Structure 1
Amino acid sequence: MNTDVATPDTLSSSALPPRSLRATSRWVLFFAAIMGGFVYLSSTHESGTPYGGLSLLPAILILIVAVITKKPLESIFSGIVAGLLLLDPSSLITGLGDISMSVVMDETIAWIVLVCGMMGGLINMLERGGSVLSFGELLASRIKSKRATMLTTCTLGVMVFIDDYLNSLAVSASMKNLTDRYRISREKLAFLVDSTAAPVCILVPVSTWAVYFAALLEENGAASKGEGMSLYIEAIPYMAYGWIALMVVFLVAAGILGDIGPMKDAEMRAQAGQPVPDGCAQDGFDTGKLPKTHPVVGLMNFLLPMAVLVAASVYYEIDLLLGALVASLFTMILYFWQNLLSFGELVDAMLDGFKVMLHPIAVVCAGFMLKDVNDQLGMTPYIIESLTPWLSPALLPALVFAAMAAVVFATGSSWGVFVVSLPIVIPMAMSMNMSMPLTVGALLSASAFGSHACFFSDSTVLSSQGSGCTAMQHALTQIPYALIGAVITFAALLALGFAFA
C-alpha cells in the first residue's frame, strides 16, 4: 500500500507546470500575437489595392521560424497561415481548403509526387537487392582517400545530369557507405550532391530543366516557335551560377576551399566518429542480411536499372516519371529472375520507398501552397516593380538575378515563379535591347541558386533525404558556399551587363 502523504510543498511543486509546458505556452502566445498582427494588417489594408511591402511579410516570417525551429514544414505552414490571414482572416479555413485542393489537382504536383515516390521505391529496391552495396564496395576497392571519395561523388553528380531529382537520390544512396567509411559528414555528402544537381542540370540541354524552360521561353515571346531550345543553348555560357557553383563544389571536394561555419562543426563531428547527425536515424536495414551476388553481377544490377532509367527518360522526351516507371518494372523483373527478392518483397520495397518520401513530398507540396499565397499577395510583381526605377541595360542582368534569386529562395519554387515573372522580365529586356541569351542566363542562374540555397526547395529536401540528414542541417551547412557562388555570379553578370550594354 502506498503510504506517501502529500505535503503542502509537494502539492505546490506538482501544481506548477513543467518547464517544457511553460516554454510551449510562451511560444503559443508569441505566435498567436504574430498572427494577430497579420489580422490587424489585413483590417487596415484597403480592398482592391496592391499589398506592396506587406506581401514580403509571410516569407520573412518563414525564414525567422525556420531559424528558430529548424523545421521546414512547420515554417512553411506558418507562412501560409500568415499570408491567408493577411488576405482575408474570415476565410482562413476555406482558403486553406481551396489552395490545398488546387495544389493536389495541379499536374506539376501530381508529377512530383509520383516521381519522388517511384524514385524512392526504385532506390529502396536497389538497396534491398544488394546492388547499391555492391556498387559501394566496388568503389571502395578503388578509392583510398577522403579526397578521392568526395571528388568521385561530384563526378557522379555531373554524370547524372538528366534531372536533379535523380541526382539527389541516386548519387547519395550509392555513396553513403563510402563517405561514412572515410568519416565524411552526411551534411557534406548532401552539399556535394546538391551542388551537382540543379547547377549542373541547367547547363545541359538534355535535361528536364532545359525542356521546361525552353517551352516557357517560346510561350513568353523570347523565342519563336521551335526556337526555344536554341535560345536556351545560346544562354548556357551566361548561366553563371551553374558554372560557379560547380567550381566551388570541386574546390571543396579537392580540399582547396575549406569547411566554413556549420559545415566545419559537422565535419569535426564526423571525424570524431559520428558522420550521421543527431536526430537522424541510421539506414533502416541490416546490410549483413542483404542478398549476396558476385561483385560484377551486383554492379550490373545497379548500373542496368540506372541506364534504363536514363534511356527511358530520354526516349519519352525527358520525362522522368515514365523513365522511373520503366526502370522500376525492369528492376522488379531483373531481381525476381535472379531470386534476389520475392515478388512480395519487391512490392514492399516499392511501398516502403514511397513512404520514406512522404515527408519530402509534403514539404514540396507546402512550398507550392506558399507560392499560391504569394501569387495572391503579388509578391513577385512587387519585387520586380520595386527594382524597375533602378534598371538600366547594364544593370538589368545582375538585378534580375538578385530579384529572382530572392523570390525563388523565399518561395522554394524554382520553376513556378517564372510563369509569373517571365511575362514581365522578357518584355523589359526587349524594350532595353538587352541580349536575350544573357537575360535568360541571369534568370536560370537565379533559378538554380534558389533551388540550391532554399531550405525547403525540392532539390534541398531530396538531397538531405537521400544523404541521411534533415533539410535544415543540410541548408545551414550549405548556405555559406551558395552565398559565395551568388556574390561571384552577381559580379560576373554585372560585368557582362556593362560589356553588352
Structure 2
Amino acid sequence: MDHSLSELANRRQDPNRGLRRGLLFLSVVLVASLSGHWLIQDGHYGAYALVPTVVVISMALITHRTLEALMAGCLSGFIILSPSSAIQDMALAGLEVMQQPTMGWIALVCGLLGALIGLLQFVRGTEAFSDSAGRLLTTRRRAMLGATGLGILIFIDDYLNAMTVSAAMKKLFDRLRISRSMLAYIVDSTAAPICLLIPFSTWAIYLAGLLESQGIASTGEGFATYLGLIPMLFYPLIALLVVLLVALGVLPALGRMRVAEAGDELVDDSSAEQADEVQRQITPRLINFVLPVTTLLLATWWFGIDALIGVGFALLVALALYAAQRIAPLNRMFDELLGGFQQMLLPLGIVFAAFLLQTVNQNLGLTETLVAWVEPLMQGSWLPGVTFLLLSGLAFATGSFWGVYAIAFPIVIPLAEATGASMGLTLGAMISAGAFGSHACFFGDSTVLSARGCGVTPIQHALTQLPYVLLAAGASAILYFLLG
C-alpha cells in the first residue's frame, strides 16, 4: 500500500487525528499572531499580511476540512489587527459580509439550486437522464467526453454549470466506476474557463463592463474588445485542452487522482438517502429532468443572464409539471425542496468564510504588499508573465476572482502603458489569473459547488485536480513570458 492509501486508511480509523493536529497548529499560530501585533509598526503589516493565507492552506492540508481552516485564518488575521477586540471585530465583519448584496445573491442562487436538484432527485429525473445518457455513453471515454460536452453547453454561469452537470452525470459515473473526483475535475474545468471562452456569460459581461470603466474600451464597445482578447486567455484554453486530453485517455490519472481512480476515495455524499416507498413508486421520466433544466438555462439567458431569476422560473415549472402528474403530495415535494436547500448550508458557509477572509486580507493590505514586492519585475516584456503569476497567487490566496480584477486593472493597465508592454497579453494574463484562481482555490465558490455536487470534499477535489491545474498554469506562464 503506497503512502496515499496508508494516509486514507489512517484517516478512516481516526477521523479526529487531523483535527487535533490542526488545533495544535492553530494554537501556535494564534500565539505568533498575538506576538506579531506588538512587532508591527506604523500600521505596515509586511509579511504578517500573509499569515491568514498560510493558516488557511496549512490547516486545510492538516485537517482536510475547509470551513474550519477558513475561520482559523480569519481569526488569526483579526488577532494581528487588534488582539483586544478580535472576536468582536470578526463578528461585526461577518455581519457586514452577510449584508452585502453579492452574498445575498449567492445564498439565494445556491440555496434554490440545491432545492431544485433535491426535487429533481426525488422525482427520479436525474436517474432518468442518467439512464438515457447511459445508453449512448457506454464507455469510460464517452462518459467523460459527455460530461465535458455538457459542461461546455452550460456556459451561461459557473454556478449553474457546477450544480447541473454534477447532478446529471454523477449516477452514470458511479455505474461506470469513474471516480467522483474525476467528475469534479471535469465539472470545475468547464465552469469558469468555459464562461470566459464563450462570452455570453456572467463573467464576460462583468469583464466587458470593467474594460469600459477603465478606459480600455469606449462605451458600448466593451464586449467587442473582450472578444478580441479571447485568443490570449491562455489558461482557460489550455485548461480545456488538458481536460479533453484526460477524457480521451491521452493524459493518465496523476497524483492523488490516481488513488481516487483506483477506487479508494472518500465520498462525502451526505445528500444520498435510501429511497422510501413514495419515491420507489415514482416512474423515472426524462421530461421531468429536461424541462426544468431547459427552463433554468433559457430563463437565465432571457433575463439578462441572471441565475436567480432562472432558478426561480425553473422551480415553478418543476412544481407545476410534477403536480400535474400527481407524482407526490405537494407537502412532500416542498419537504424535498427544503431538504435540498439545507444541503447547501455547508457550501454557503464556506463561501461566507471566504468573503470574511477577503475582508481580513484587505485590512492587512495583502494585495498592496505583494504588488510592492514584485513591482520591480513588472516592467516591459516581463509584465504579462509576472502579472499572471502574481494575480494567480492572489486569486488563489484570497478566493476573490472578480475582486482581484477590480483591484488589479487600475494598477496593471497604467504599468503596461508606461512600460510599452503588450496591452492585449497583459489583459489576457489578468483575466486568465482569475480563471486559475476560480479553478484551483479550494474555497472558491465554483470549486466548492463542484465538490459538493459530486459528493467529495473541497480539499479532496482541489488536491486530486492539482496536477492538471498546475500543468495548465505552468504552460500559460511560459507562453506569457515568451510572447511578452
TM-score range, shorter chain: over 0.9
1:45-194 → structure 2 map (5 Å cutoff): 45-48=40-43, 50-194=44-188
Following the alignment from structure 1 to structure 2, what is the Cα–Cα distance between the partners of residues 208 and 287? 39
Q: CA deviation at 1:282?
A: 7.1
Contact 2:401 2:437 in 1 (8 A): yes
Distance 1:254 1:232 in 2: 31
Shift of 1:191: 0.6
Question: Is residue 192–residue 438 contact of structure 2 (8 Å, CA) maintained in 1?
Answer: yes
Residue 43 of structure 1 corresponds to 38
* Cα shift at 1:386: 1.6
> Matches of 2:376 and 2:418 in 1, distance apart?
14
SS in 2 for 1:394: helix
Per the alignment, residue 440 of structure 2 pairs with: 453
- 1:332 is aligned to 2:319: yes
SS at match of 2:197: coil
Deviation at 1:34, TM superposition (A): 1.7
Flag the 1:465–1:287 CA change in 2: closer, same or farther, 3 A. farther
Equivalents in 2 of 1:195, 1:299: separation in Å? Answer: 26
Match of 2:397 among 410, 416, 426: 410
- Aligned counterpart, 2:458: 471
Q: 1:80 deviation in Å?
A: 0.4
Q: Residue 161 of structure 1 aligns to a residue in which SS? A: coil
Structure 2: distance between partners of 1:481 and 1:22:
29
Shift of 1:344: 1.4
Partner residue, 2:417: 430
Residue equivalent to 2:290: 303
Are the structure 2 counterparts of residues 245 and 24 from structure 1 closer, same or farther at C-alpha, using a change threshold of 3 Å? closer
Q: Does 1:391 align with 2:385?
A: no
Q: 2:196 aligned with 1:209, yes or no? A: no
Corresponding residue to 2:272 among 263, 271, 283: 283
Contact 1:381 1:421 in 2 (8 A): no
Equivalent in 373, 379, 382 of residue 366 of structure 2: 379
Shift of 1:285: 4.1
Aligned-partner Cα distance in 1 for 2:424–2:157: 22
Answer yes or no: is 1:419 the counterpart of 2:413: no
Q: Is the contact made by 1:217 and 1:223 (CA closer than 8 Å) also made in structure 2?
A: yes
Q: Is residue 350 of structure 1 aligned with residue 350 of structure 2?
A: no
Give the letter for the 1:286 counterpart. Answer: A
One-letter amino acid of the counterpart of residue 204, structure 2: A
Provide TM-score, normalisation by structure 2: 0.93
User: Does the C-alpha gap of structure 1 residues 23 and 136 become closer, same or farther in structure 2, counting only changes over 3 Å?
Assistant: closer
Q: Matched residue of 1:489: which SS? A: helix
* Secondary structure of the corresponding residue to residue 459 of structure 2: helix
CA contact (8 A) 1:280 1:470 kept: no
* Deviations, residues 191-239 of structure 1 (Å, cap 9, x unaligned): 1111111111111111011112222222233323222222211111111
**Aligned-partner Cα distance in 2 for 1:82–1:106:** 23
SS of equivalent residue, structure 1 residue 269: coil
- TM norm structure 1: 0.90
Q: What's 1:440 paired with?
A: 427
Amino acid at match of 2:178: I
Structure 1 residues 46-89: Cα deviation after superposition (integer angstroms, max 9, x where no partner): 133x2222211211121111110111111111110111111111
What residue in structure 2 maps to residue 8 of structure 1? none
RMSD of aligned alpha carbons: 2.1
What secondary structure does 1:434 align onto?
coil
Q: Is the 8 A contact 2:56 2:70 kept in 1?
A: yes
Contact 2:151 2:190 in 1 (8 A): yes
Aligned equivalents of 2:25, 2:380: Cα separation in 1: 46
> C-alpha deviations, 1:100-156, integer Å up to 9, x for none?
011101111111111100111111111111211111101112222111111111111
1:264 to 1:338, Cα distance in 2 relative to 1, 3 A: same
Partners of 1:77 and 1:384 lie apart in 2 by: 26
Check conservation: 1:429, 1:439, Cα contact below 8 A. yes
Is contact 2:157–2:195 with CA below 8 Å preserved after alignment?
yes
For the residues of structure 2 that align with 1:201 and 1:131, how far apart are their CA atoms?
26
Aligned length, in residue pairs: 470
Distance 1:285 1:225 in 2: 55
Percent same amino acid among aligned pairs?
A: 41
Paired with 2:194 and 2:450, the residues of 1 have a C-alpha distance of: 14
In structure 2, what is the equivalent of residue 14 of structure 1? none
C-alpha contact 1:131 1:302 (8 A) present in aligned 2: yes
Distance 1:24 1:69 in 2: 5
Change (3 A) 1:68 1:30: closer
CA offsets, 1:338-389, max 9 Å, x none? Answer: 1123321222222111100000000011001000110111111221222110
2:262 paired residue number = 268
Letter of the structure 2 residue corresponding to residue 327 of structure 1: A
Gap change, CA 1:441 and 1:332, over 3 Å in 2: same
- Check if 1:482 corresponds to 2:477: no
- Pair 1:28–1:248, CA change in 2 (3 A): closer
Higher gyration radius (CA)? 1
1:46–1:160 CA distance, 2 compared to 1 (3 A)? same
Pairing partner for 1:34 from 29, 37, 41: 29
Amino acid at match of 1:329: L
Question: Separation in 2 of the partners of 1:299 and 1:25?
Answer: 47
* Distance (whole Å) between structure 2 residues aligned to residue 240 and residue 443 of structure 1: 11
Q: CA deviation at 1:30?
A: 4.2
- Post-superposition CA distance 1:264-306 (Å, at most 9, x none): 0111116xxxxx625544722429834544x7xx222222212
Deviation at 1:25, TM superposition (A): 7.4
2 CA distance for matches of 1:360 and 1:30? 24
Hey, which bits of structure 1, 4+ residues long, moved more than 6 A? 19-26
* Deviation, structure 1 residue 310: 1.4
1:381/1:221 Cα in 2 relative to 1: closer, same or farther (>3 Å)? farther
Structure 1 pair 21–447 and aligned structure 2 pair: CA distance change class (3 A) = closer
The alpha-carbon deviation at position 95 of structure 1 amounts to 1.1
Supply the distance in 1 between the matched residues of 2:15 and 2:122 (Cα, whole angstroms): 41
Amino acid at match of 1:185: S
Amino acid in structure 2 at the alignment position of 1:137? D
- Letter aligned with residue 414 of structure 1: F
Q: Is the contact made by 2:180 and 2:267 (CA closer than 8 Å) also made in structure 1?
A: no
* 1:428 to partner: Cα distance: 1.7
